[in-house]
Chain A
Amino acid sequence: MKRILAFALLFVMCIGVFAMTGCDRQQASAQPPVGENPGEQGTQGEVQTDEQGNTQQPTPQPVAYDVPSVGYDGSEVTITFSHTMNATYQGVLDKYIAKFNELYPNITVEHAQVGGYDEVRDQIKTELTAGNQPNIAYCYPDHVALYNVAKAVVPLNSFIDSTIEVTDAQGNKTVLGLTAEQIADFIPGYYAEGAVFDNAGTMYTMPMSKSTEVLYYNKTFFDANGLTVPTTWDEMKALCKKILEIDPDCIPLGYDSEANWFITMCEQYGSPYTSAQRGKYFLFNNDQNKAFVKEFRSWYEAGYLTTQELYGGYTSGLFTELTDKNSYMSIGSTGGSMHQRPEATDDGYAFEVGIAPIPQVNPDAPKAISQGPSLCIFESDNKQEVVASWLFVKFLTTDPAFQAEFSMTSGYMPVIKSVENVPAYKNFLDNADGGEHIQALAVKVGREMSNMYFVSPAFNGSSVARDKVGVLMQYCFVTPADDVDAMIDKAFKDAIVECNNAQ
């Protein structure tokens, strides 16, 4: 009995202590989601302007940052960089940090792999609550939106436009910002990703290395049966039917990611998915989207396709496996091209892999999702750290040698065009084939798709929408229903409610 009393007392005490501290505003203002110090970058509230282009509003200006007028003063600073690179990639990074240090010997770059992308995000989220964030981080747009709730990400426009002269250790004078040639060197779609956070054009990120989705197909099988690679979804449907006639045991197409698929279809149809405007975030509940989901449900039921979750194993495994039931096409990331190649045997690879852009709704306005990490810079009390971070980010994103070598090591696509001037890289692309050099082929096809790239609007919680549409797609495919339209209707409504709940 005594113990029970004690438990109750403990509970009462907890509440009692709350009464003492709970109403203390000073204390409470240390709560994480509300940034303590907006800093010099103005407020998010002003940045979020009406998307419809309200005429009473002045043209929105990108958020400015107060760049020290001396630029980099040469002082000794240590900057930290959180990323997801494994040991092999870190080898490349270390090599180029050494080169960077030839230019700026007083800037020490410390970097560490935190884990995967989600782990980087979670780690920094926690670090921000204590003001302990790194200087630079690998990021996806929705991470930046999350960090920006605490107003911790440095807007880069003032750096990019800066004409302050910086002298490096070898006596070269360069501008702190980017030259017009450097900006033009970026693949436009990638560069534009840095400014998806408002409609004022504020750049919060610089692209680092990129990937997109492509169609891998069994070229040996296609050639043997005289099949052509589909460029539209209509052609894809006819092709799936045909392949099933040739091999009734197969599942013609595997699509790795349901969420990517849904988002890409929205973009290809030009129907709304999400917007970055508060209160109007989730727009994907519309007839156009329901129509394509219903159409693909009928494909799924006809046995034309499967996805990774629905299949219960890697769709790349389905594509490369020869003993089991298999597929002849697989849509997946260029970053995972090594997994889309069958295992090597003594006589080479079991089949040749072909790579093509993904099918389109309208081939005249093609769209393909752009993924892969960007870099963002965080606020710091020491402005020189911010400047030094900018110099390093600029170095990584604009140096053709680094971009080329990193791409060759990782299979990711470089973000600048001038990598082609690097002889080794040209050689790498020239050797591209559907076997030994499949990484090169994936990069090559991905680079040819540069006019297709899109990114979705980023806001704090955009990843929730992404998760939900993935589940929505699965649910609509597999749920038995007498009235399919009603089932899909309800599922879309539920998904919207869940998105709002998670907010």
Chain B
Amino acid sequence: MAKQMKVLTEKDLQQVTVQQKIFKVLSQIALYTFLIVMAIIVIFPFYWMIISSLKSLAEYRLSIPTLFPKEIMWGNYLQAFQKAELLKLFKNTIIVGVVSTILSLVITIITAFAFARLEFKGKNLLFSMLLGTMMIPGELFTITNFTTITEFGWYKNPNWFEGYAVLIVPFLVSVFYIYLLKQNFMQIPNELYLAAKVDGTSDFKYLCKVMIPLSLPTLISITILKMMGSWNSYVWPRLVAHKDYYLITNGLRSAFTDAGSGEADIPVQMAAVTIVSIPLFLVFIFLRKYIMKGVSRSGIKG
């Protein structure tokens, strides 16, 4: 290294920096081109969703779709609001989303804590079994779970508790979130825990005072993922939700079908979908920093 430095004259150095600069600019251009091309590809369906929501049904049905609506139909949005009782759907979705997120967070935290910090027999075995359940195709759970909630009496003529419980309870435990948070907890130095023990701090206090604040980003990203899950879930709510407790997705799918031909009025449906996506989009924009941090802190290990 040192030898090389000596050989280089000032002129050479200048040349090198010019070359480097050109190279840098070129590589930056390549970088941006690549990213922007990929971004255009990735964003296309989103764009499609929005332009479709502004087309007339006849235009949407053209055999080769137009890239921009010939006539912008704002009326689709009005129709979406009127037809689907969106306010009721929003209310239900928000209740289910918030309640299930809070409960799910509590369960995830205490379970991850037990796995990360407490010692008990069969811990690794139990945790591996939890991971194993992730590999089974979820479709198979549906029928048995449906029978179960029926046995609980949550299906027919539900009161408000049962109507919401049926949408919330079966999905409170997520092995994926437990895994994510456990990895995060494990990265908090053990010394802190032992020190707390010496101080006589209880496990629970330690969890609340130290571990939760330290893993806040992960918790926030779990919150957002869970919220999005409630927002987008479709198969299970369609099967079990009572009419009064329909979620956004149920309402959307069924509100705009033309029973004559069984065809969906897709532009209006897209308008409704766009309305529904906006809150999610805003949440992401505002909390982007936390989502990124959360995922990076979890330090996923194979």
Contacts and interface: CB of A to CB of B under 8 A. Distances in A.
B107 to A, nearest CB: 21
Contacts of B253: 115
Contacts of A127: 146
Contacts of A84: 257, 259, 262
B146 A6 contact: no
Given A6-B124, A86-B255, A339-B61, A126 B260 contact: no
B143 A115 contact: no
Interface string A298-329: 00000000000000111001100100100000
Contacts of B129: 6, 9-10
B95 to A, nearest CB: 20
Interface in A8-54: 9-11, 30, 32
Contact of A129 (B143, B156, B254): B143
Contacts of A32: 143
A170 B63 CA distance: 55
A476 B157 CA distance: 51
Interface string A326-351: 00000001011011000100000000
A356 B142 CA distance: 47
Contact of A86 (B58, B150, B257): B257
A85 B258 CA distance: 8
Interface in B94-145: 124-125, 127-129, 131-132, 142-143
A232 interface: no
Contact of A126 (B61, B131, B132, B142): B142
A131 B151 CA distance: 10
Contacts of B257: 84, 86, 113, 115-116
Interface in A62-113: 78, 84-87, 89, 110, 112-113
A314 B57 CA distance: 13
Contacts of B239: 123, 126
Contact of B63 (A131, A321, A333): A321
A126 B143 contact: yes
A259 to B, nearest CB: 14
Contacts of A85: 259
A321 B65 CA distance: 13
A7 B260 contact: no
Contacts of A87: 83, 255
B281 to A, nearest CB: 27
Contacts of B164: none
B62 interface: yes
A202 to B, nearest CB: 28
Given A3-B124, A113-B254, A130-B150, A89 B259 contact: yes
Contacts of B260: 335-336, 338, 410-412
A317 B65 CA distance: 12
B296 interface: no
B261 interface: yes
A61 B155 CA distance: 37
Interface size class of B (residues with CB under 8 A): 35 or more
A114 interface: yes
Interface string B154-176: 01110000000000000000000
Interface string A114-128: 111101000100110
A2 interface: yes
B147 interface: yes
Interface in B229-244: 238-239, 243
A132 interface: yes
A131 B146 CA distance: 11
Contacts of A129: 143, 146-147
A409 B283 CA distance: 42
Contacts of A86: 254-259
Contact of A324 (B63, B238, B263): B63
A132 B156 contact: yes
B261 A336 contact: yes
A339 B157 contact: no
B63 A318 contact: yes
A83 to B, nearest CB: 8
B128 A10 contact: yes
A313 B63 contact: yes
A388 to B, nearest CB: 16
B58 A343 contact: yes
B1 to A, nearest CB: 44
Contacts of A110: 243
Contact of B62 (A78, A123, A321, A339): A321
A318 B61 CA distance: 10
Nearest to A313: B63
Contacts of B124: 2-3, 6
B238 A119 contact: yes
A65 B62 CA distance: 52
Nearest to A111: B243
Contacts of B147: 30, 129-130
A333 to B, nearest CB: 7
A317 B62 contact: yes
Contacts of B143: 32, 126, 129
Nearest to A110: B243
B61 A317 contact: yes
B191 to A, nearest CB: 25
B279 to A, nearest CB: 24
B248 to A, nearest CB: 15
Interface in A175-192: none
Nearest to B135: A7
B93 to A, nearest CB: 18
Which 10 residue pairs are nearest across A and B when measured between Cβ atoms?
A6-B128, A313-B63, A336-B261, A130-B150, A335-B260, A112-B243, A10-B132, A10-B129, A343-B58, A130-B147
10 contacts: A7-B132, A9-B129, A113-B257, A116-B262, A126-B146, A129-B146, A132-B156, A333-B261, A335-B260, A410-B260
Interface of B: 58, 61-64, 83, 124-125, 127-129, 131-132, 142-143, 146-147, 150-151, 155-157, 238-239, 243, 253-263
Given A84-B259, A119-B238, A123-B239, 15 more contacts: A2-B124, A3-B124, A6-B128, A84-B262, A86-B256, A87-B83, A129-B143, A130-B150, A130-B155, A132-B150, A313-B63, A314-B61, A317-B61, A317-B63, A318-B63
Interface of A: 2-3, 6-7, 9-11, 30, 32, 78, 84-87, 89, 110, 112-117, 119, 123, 126-127, 129-132, 312-314, 317-318, 321, 324, 333, 335-336, 338-339, 343, 410-412
